[in-house]
């Protein structure tokens, strides 16, 4: 029975991990305006709000019970260990980041991401040490949802997926494309090491959640309508990511974006 409980917790963390905002800055500032919805809400099409709110509440409980406590435990690890894990995870994203940059016509950025991956995978000991950053090769984030938006695909309606979290039709399609094309996961599966895929995803979830514990709790505790605040923040963060604008003043949230790793 104990093993069954451990497996259930493990796989729940895996699913929740898809919801972390890949495009959010690690250094986040918040203010009172972060806890209110904005005029941007008028642009959000949410025809399934009743169902979405029920799913959102389920996701919120899952975060409180499983992911947040695990992230707090992770925060107790020595800083160099946390940095190494975070660097390693970010490095594994880079092949698909480069692909999406190419699809968006960002040739220079794609070359930098490729160079960053090669440098950190070799000199940086499989990405554990971020050597590329010292060489001026900046970490950038691009995904298939952003690529589809660049190609003119609209948001579609807003939807909260069970455990996957807030999304829209376009970003959900982007998630599926990522699942089908991620070269790192494909390589692991072809080598008979498929167990590494859920492990990678779970570790990514905990690492990212650990970076935004205070910000998320502040938003959760101070929002007049937490659902609406997360919905608004989701779209603001995605808009900033798509437009490649500075999103350092936006609040990253758990269960707010689709990232499959």
The residue segments making up the domain with residue 52 are 14-243
Class of residue 185 by CB neighbours under 10 A (exposed 0-12, middle 13-18, buried 19+): buried
226/57 Cα distance (integer angstroms): 10
Does residue 250 form part of some domain?
Answer: no
Domain assignment present for residue 145? The answer is: yes
Rounded Cα–Cα distance for residues 184 and 190 (Å):
10
Q: Are 99 and 181 in contact (CB under 8 A)?
A: yes
Q: What is the pLDDT of residue 33?
A: 47
Percentage of residues in the chain having pLDDT higher than 90: 54
> Whole-prediction pTM value?
0.77
Q: Do 215 and 79 contact (CB within 8 A), yes or no?
A: no
CA distances for 221 relative to 35, 39, 137, 217, 227, angstroms: 9, 21, 38, 6, 12
Is position 8 within any domain?
no
pLDDT by residue (tens digit) across 116-173? 999 999 999 999 999 999 888 988 889 999 999 999 999 999 999 887 789 999 999 9
Residue range 105-118, pLDDT digits in tens: 999 999 999 999 99
pLDDT digits (tens, 9 = 90+) for 225-257: 999 999 998 999 999 999 888 654 454 555 543
Tell me how far apart the alpha carbons of residues 118 and 98 are, in angstroms, rounded to a whole number: 12
Strand blocks (E) in the chain: 158-161, 165-168
Q: Is 7 a domain residue? A: no
Does the pLDDT at position 29 exceed 60? no
pLDDT of residue 113: 95
Strand blocks (E) in 130-242: 158-161, 165-168
Rg of the chain over all Cα atoms, to the nearest angstrom: 18
Tokens of 34: 């972060």
Q: How many domains does the chain have?
A: 1
- Which pair of structure tokens corresponds to residue 254? 């758990």
């Amino acid at each position: 029975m104990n093993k069954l409980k451990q497996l259930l917790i493990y796989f729940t963390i895996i699913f929740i991990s898809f919801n972390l905002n890949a495009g959010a800055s690690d250094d986040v500032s918040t203010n009172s305006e972060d806890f209110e919805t904005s005029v941007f809400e008028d642009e959000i099409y949410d025809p399934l709000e009743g169902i979405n709110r029920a799913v959102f509440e389920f996701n919120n409980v899952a975060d409180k019970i499983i992911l947040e406590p695990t992230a707090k435990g992770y925060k107790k690890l020595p800083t160099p260990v946390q940095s190494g894990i975070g660097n390693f995870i970010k490095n594994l994203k880079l092949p698909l980041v480069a692909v999406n940059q190419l699809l968006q016509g960002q040739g220079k950025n794609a070359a930098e991401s490729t160079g960053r991956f090669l440098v950190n995978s070799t000199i940086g000991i499989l990405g554990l040490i971020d050597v590329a950053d010292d060489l001026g090769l900046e970490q950038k984030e691009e995904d298939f949802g952003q690529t589809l938006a660049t190609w003119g695909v609209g948001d579609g309606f807003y939807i909260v997926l069970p455990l996957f979290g807030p999304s829209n039709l376009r970003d959900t399609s982007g998630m599926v494309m990522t699942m089908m094309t991620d070269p790192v996961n494909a390589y692991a599966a072809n080598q008979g090491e498929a167990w590494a895929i859920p492990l990678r995803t779970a570790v990514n979830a905990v690492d990212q959640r650990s970076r935004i514990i205070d910000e998320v709790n502040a938003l959760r505790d101070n929002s007049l309508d937490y659902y609406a605040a997360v919905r608004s923040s989701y779209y603001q963060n995605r808009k900033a990511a798509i437009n490649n604008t500075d999103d350092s003043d936006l609040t990253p949230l758990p269960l707010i974006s689709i990232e499959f790793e």
